[in-house]
Amino acid sequence: MALSTQPYKGARDFYPEYKRLQKYLFSVMRSVVERYGYEEYDAPILEPLELYLAKTGEEIVNEQTYQFVDRGGRNVVIRPEMTPTVSRMVAAKRQELAYPLRWYSIPNLWRYERPQHGRLREHWQLNVDIFGIENTSADIEIIQVADALLRAYGATHEMYTIKLNDRRLMKYILAEYLNLTDVQQQLTGKLIDRMNKMEPAEFAADIDAVFAPSQRESGTDEKLFELLKVKSLNDLPEEIKSKDEFKLLDTVIKQLNDEQIVNAEFEISLMRGFDYYSGIVFEIFDNDPSNSRSMFGGGRYDGLVGLFGVEPVATVGFGMGDVGLQEFLKVHDLLPSLKSETDAYVVLIGDVYEAAQKAIKDFREMGLNLAVDMSGGKADKQIKSAVKKGILYAIFIGDNEIADEQFTIKNLQTGEEEKHSAQRIVSIIKDYRNE
């Protein structure tokens, strides 16, 4: 029986055309985050299971990770996210590193889940983190970077909304304003996280099941439902607005708005799944009605590095997946048409492979990326091959061309042919490349 040619379920083969798109996405990521002084790091895709048991949400570890026992008896996981890894790396060199530390990475991550629209088993995720800054300048910078990224792909502020909340504010609201027990806070938080995916009646029933009869009698549930209707920080009750937890978030949103990030706003239902968030959290939503969902997000997680037995380090970061990003760019018609890295296709006329080597070498030394067709096929078949590969120019080399040192260059889109010196050809092609 012949072997299957399919890639592993829920993962993608990157044929060159698709890989070119990925490279474009990554190169924009790199140039934007490096503009803000972030340095790239990386780590092995395998990590010990313990790393995820500590602080990641339980669902991910128990149901969605690729875990196995290696030949040495170690419980290992193919990383489902990068945050535990980067925390481990910072902890390992806690004392040596210079803060603020700005790091980024574009790892591939694996989750065992049912492949669906916008969710795959393998995806790549830009991770951007700043370590060592406790004040809100770090939160603001991270959101600025996320915003600058989308704009670098050509997006405008009308296309997306940056929704913010603060875990500390929610903690205050649940624990003090509503006076819930620890367990109730936990359950209520998870329900609020899922609120927008539930029917209102279902949500209300689930909340009421969490609350004690006395709480329902005293109207705690109604108090919560009222709060959850609030669309702006201004509309929160004065009792909440007098708290530091409120002022912090209010300042961050105002400052973002002041710095032309007009699409940053408060969203009380925003919790984010992972347990490790400890402060401001944010998510960026696509405004297009056909794709109106959270694209990516992040927040402050000051506790993770400390789990490794070193002094904790204040941390803010976000992770942006390539699948959701592509979806966003597609919906908003922002995917560029990308040129082939190959500048020209050399079509050999007759049996001149060896004789053409010098000319080919010269072209390459002048900076051209050249693919040579040595199939011995007919010229029109060779040209078809070039067109299929998305290469714009063909350069013909035969005995006459080698003798005259004049080569025919053909634009395969327009069909236009011209005969020129090698230097002239190189300059025509470089002009096109730099267009």
- 29-48 binders of a second copy (CB under 8 A): 34-48
Residues with Cβ < 8 Å from 236, sequence gap 6 or more? 227, 230, 246
Q: Could you tell me where the beta strands, DSSP code E, fall in 132-229?
A: 160-166
Would you say 108 or 291 has its CB closer to a second copy? 108
Contact map string, positions 123 to 152, toward a second copy, x by CB under 8 A: ---------xx-x-xx--x-----------
- Residue 22 makes contact with a second copy by CB under 8 A: yes
- Residue 172 makes contact with a second copy by CB under 8 A: no
Would you say 21 or 335 has its CB closer to a second copy? 21
Q: Which stretch binds a second copy (CB under 8 A): 86-94, 161-169, 183-191, 276-284?
A: 86-94
Of residues 346 through 385, those in contact with a second copy by CB under 8 A are 353-354, 357, 364, 368-376, 384-385
Give the C-alpha separation, 233 to 242, whole Å.
12
Would you say 180 or 314 has its CB closer to a second copy? 314
Give me the helix-helix angle, 137-152 and 244-258, nearest 10°.
40
Q: Do 220 and 208 meet the contact criterion of CB atoms below 8 Å apart?
A: no
**Phi and psi dihedrals of 408, rounded to 5?**
-90, 130
DSSP designation for 173: I
Q: Do 75 and 91 meet the contact criterion of CB atoms below 8 Å apart?
A: no
Q: Closest distance between a second copy and the C-beta of residue 12, in Å? A: 7
Would you say 89 or 320 has its CB closer to a second copy? 89
Q: Please name the residue ranges forming H helices in 195-316.
A: 200-210, 213-217, 220-228, 238-241, 244-258
Q: Closest distance between a second copy and the C-beta of residue 328, in Å? A: 22
Q: Using CB under 8 A, which of 102, 272, 332, 410 touches a second copy?
A: 102
Distances (CA, A) of 151 to 202, 210, 325: 38, 42, 12
Q: Closest distance between a second copy and the C-beta of residue 266, in Å? A: 21
Element (H, E) at 318: strand 315-321
- Residue 122 makes contact with a second copy by CB under 8 A: yes
Would you say 100 or 118 has its CB closer to a second copy? 100
Of residues 207 through 226, those in contact with a second copy by CB under 8 A are none
Longest dimension (CA), the chain: 98
Q: Closest distance between a second copy and the C-beta of residue 5, in Å? A: 4
Q: Using CB under 8 A, which of 185, 287, 291, 342 touches a second copy?
A: 342
Give the C-alpha separation, 307 to 299, whole Å.
18
- Residue 81 makes contact with a second copy by CB under 8 A: no
Of residues 237 through 256, those in contact with a second copy by CB under 8 A are 255
User: Is residue 403 helix, strand or coil?
Assistant: helix
- Residue 13 makes contact with a second copy by CB under 8 A: yes
